[in-house]
Amino acid sequence: MQDGWQTTPPLSNEQAGGWAVVRCAQGFLSDANGVLFPRDWLKRQDLPIVGEHGLGHFSADPVWLLELSQPVEMPGCQWLGLRQVMMQADYPTFRMLSFAEQVGNWSSQHQFCGRCGTRNRQVPGERCMRCPECGLDSYARISPSMIVLVTRGDEVLLARSSRFVQGMYSTLAGFVEPGESAEECVAREVREEVGVEVRNLQYLGSQSWPFPHSLMLGFHAEYAGGEIVPQPDEIEDAGWFHIEQLPPLPMGRSIARYLIDLYVARRLGLAEPVLPR
């Protein structure tokens, strides 16, 4: 088995040994050695464990997620948010915790049946919560969304939300509506957020985005017409930026940054970046 992170079908909770990551509302537990702890040792501690999920393998070793009902203080340990991990940790570790975050969210949000209110039970061997009363199955939710870089020659259309880090601009993004294709979503979201029309859409790649459960579908689109009119309460500012005079941009591991870097590389004849996998 290769080094790094590999998602697998759910591991049995009856299996002993292995490693575990610990999650609560505060984030993931870490110490000087990282975020992986001996699973059997953790389960001997006085921890408020409310859920356990077999996730996959990290460098051939099995890994489980232990969900806590509340944060605890442990000597030499701290709690890290997932965005901190994305910026600081190696990419295989981020991928592992990204998956753990989405599994943990799904588990905590489906403790009870959404149809009859009965407490759900975890189905062995599946990532499924099942109602013992009415049989409703609840699987992990994935929300498809699009993210797009709109271009006009040597200019790119970037925008910022009030939620962004001060001064940072990014590409446009939005969730796919029921009955809508990803391409239709691109055109609608661009029109709604900045008031312009696009053409010649090109799909460039996807990225799991665990904030909290999105699958980002990345596109490039050419400007087709219209004047920029930022959407009230959604877009704080938007404008055209020359590729050699760009504002502060999103973090390097994000698909937003990949879309921008890829276009700049193609315009300037540079080596093309690779979307992190």
- Is 3's pLDDT higher than 70? no
For residue 226, pLDDT beyond 70: yes
Q: Which residues contact 168 (CB under 8 A, 6 or more apart)?
A: 160, 247, 248, 249, 250
Q: What DSSP string describes 77-103?
A: -EEE-HHHHHHHS-HHHHHHHHHHHHH
pLDDT bracket for residue 1 (50, 70, 90): very low
- CATH top-level class for 143-268? alpha beta
Of 3.90.79, 3.90.1200, 3.40.1350, 3.60.40, the CATH number of 5-109 is: 3.90.79
Alpha carbons 264 and 214: distance in angstroms, whole number:
26
Measured distance CA(175)–CA(147) in Å, rounded: 9
Domain ranges in the chain? 5-109, 112-141, 143-268
Q: State phi, psi for 60 to the nearest 5 degrees.
A: 80, -10
Whole-model pTM above 0.85?
yes
Q: Count the alpha carbons within 13 Å of 60 in the hemisphere toward its beta carbon.
A: 3
CATH topology identical between 5-109 and 143-268:
yes
Express each pLDDT in 137-162 by its tens digit: 999 889 999 999 999 999 999 999 98
Mean pLDDT of 207-217: 93
pLDDT single digits (tens) 72-103: 999 999 999 998 998 888 889 999 999 999 99
- 235 neighbors 71 (Cβ within 8 angstroms): no
